[in-house]
Structure 1
Amino acid sequence: MKAIAIFDIDGVIRDVGNSYRRAIADTVEHFTNHAYRPTLQDIDSLKSEGIWNNDWEASQELIYRYFERRPPTSSAVSESLSRNQIDLNYDDLIAFFQSRYRGPDPDNPTGYICSERLLCEPSYFQQLTQTNIGWGFFSGAMRDEALYVLTGKLGLVSPVLVAMEDAPGKPDPSGLLMAVEQLNPDNSIPVVYVGDTVADMYTVQRASQQQPERSWMGVGILPPHVQLNSERSQAYRQTLKAAGAMMVLPSVEQFAAPVIEQVATAS
């Protein structure tokens, strides 16, 4: 095995700009009584802090921040609230979010998940296998939602996957370490983690701190929604690099087997 490549899923393997992120916006709008709907840039700004990988928690945080900074009324009486004054039930938030993302029937997806666009082809992973590059996935998505795309849409057979139920959320590196261990525990094999958020890059850094004997690298992928604007795309690229990405690419398929081999050799 020449190298190990572990992939995030959302924003790397599938486009979630109109699914997970739309569900965040719907949830925040609902629980702020339709007073505030975050834009994709608002959500990116929150996630750039590196600790809001869980979209339920991200939704909750955006709701809290809205009420905390809510401007005063015309009577100059402040309407801002502290967090302990905000009546927000986390279980209700999750249920609402899931009703949008998965749909009302959890066993029969009809929500935004059904419209997600693939960002790579099955042949990409076949090429990695043929080049003796081990590969797997570490995602903050629920296992069945991750498998919906990996096995359901991409047709991958029994891929190595560490999902939400299996490990603490990013930037805790436990899930990344678990995925690597399943592929090959030999610490002489370099590892690349491919993700689209600051939390992904921080995860690589923490993995390196826990296992300094192995070579760890982070590669950033620009999610589709930021590529609609060149200025925003460049800003997002710089954010990922500042968080530790050794390179940032517009699509995961550009991180092809020869590039991975070159990176692994250089490490």
Structure 2
Amino acid sequence: MAIQSASLLVALVIFDIDGVIRDVGGSYRRALADTVEHLTEGAYRPSQSEIDALKAEGVWNNDWEASQELVFRYFEAHEVEMPAIQDTIWRDDAGRGGVAIAYDKLVAFFQARYRGTDPNHFTGYICQEPLLVDSAYFDQLTWAKMGWGFFSGATRKSADYVLKKRLGLEAPVLVAMEDAPGKPDPTGLFAAVSQLKPVDSKIPVLYVGDTVADMYTVVKARQQQGDRPWIAVGILPPHVQETEAQSQAYADGLRQAGAAIVFGNMQELTSTAIAQLI
């Protein structure tokens, strides 16, 4: 990543990836719904609004864990016979509601849908993700003396695929799933900021995300490192913008979780808009 000397930077902007850089409504979320449907043998497939409601709790940033949680909640809420899926889900008094799940097999099923079954190439839903920004967007941040990087709950391979192969970014600062605890823990955000090597410890940091967990991450960062300005910026993911009512409700949720401002897409968060926020 080509940036000006760290001593000249006026702000740091760290981005989430899913729902911000790429539209995951037909990929991660589709794989999540597929996984829940598979583990309930077709009895339950969560809608986008049901997934949003879970995400709004602010602790289900990891879609594997979110899949598991929705399966648990389904069996807790319904008196039904267990599915016959071998070695994946079974009755267990020690589990949630008497249900236990083979988490590694859940992850394997999810990844087969999202990444595909070819171990050497992506062939799954990830190949169909529309990009929500282009590389020129990051050039204008660089020209405006703003350092930038990424902190995402996506796996490193998935994040590298979109950042390097599809966007063509060279060696971007990236903290991925394997590198830090999941959000809303701000450890990964701190790590991304550290990699940008800002000289001024008071330089403002913006974190740009599309979920309640992203906003909570900034709130926690502010609590732990209150010596610098931390600004939460919300982005509405495409799937909530079908109606004005949906958009407004989702934006309200982000603001209540700590967003200083909410934009309809990344293109609205220009260097000028960032300068006004800081």
Q: Residue 202 of structure 1 is aligned with which of 216, 233, 249?
A: 216
Residue aligned with 2:12, SS: strand
Q: Does 2:106 match 1:98?
A: no
> Counterpart in 1 of 2:156?
143
Structure 2: gaps (5+ residues): 1-8, 82-92
Q: Deviations over 1:224-243 (max 9, x none)?
A: 00001211111000000000
Q: Does 2:24 match 1:16?
A: yes
> Counterpart in 1 of 2:177?
164
1:86: Cα distance to partner? 1.1
Q: Distance in 2 between matches of 1:107 and 1:168?
A: 27
> Counterpart in 2 of 1:32?
40
1:108: Cα distance to partner? 1.0
Q: Distance in 1 between matches of 2:144 and 2:259?
A: 24
Q: 1:191 to 1:225 in 2, by over 3 A?
A: same
Amino acid at match of 1:142: T
> Counterpart in 2 of 1:260?
274
Amino acid at match of 2:129: E
Q: Once superposed, which parts of structure 1, at least 4 consecutive aligned residues long, lie more than 6 Å away?
A: none
Q: Distance in 2 between matches of 1:260 and 1:134?
A: 12
> Counterpart in 2 of 1:42?
50
Normalised by the size of structure 2, how large is the TM-score? 0.90
Q: Deviations over 1:190-233 (max 9, x none)?
A: 00000000000000011111110000000000000000121111
Q: Does 2:270 match 1:251?
A: no
Q: Does 2:132 match 1:119?
A: yes
> RMSD in angstroms over aligned alpha carbons?
1.4
Structure 1: gaps (5+ residues): 74-80
Amino acid at match of 1:7: F
> Counterpart in 1 of 2:191?
178
Amino acid at match of 1:52: W
Q: Distance in 2 between matches of 1:63 and 1:120?
A: 34
Amino acid at match of 2:22: R
Q: Distance in 1 between matches of 2:120 and 2:267?
A: 32
Instruction: Report if the CA contact (8 A) 2:62-2:153 is conserved.
Output: yes
Amino acid at match of 1:125: F
> Counterpart in 1 of 2:90?
none
Amino acid at match of 1:219: V
Amino acid at match of 1:31: L
Tell me the number of residue pairs that the alignment of Structure 1 and Structure 2 aligns.
258
Identity of aligned residues (%): 61
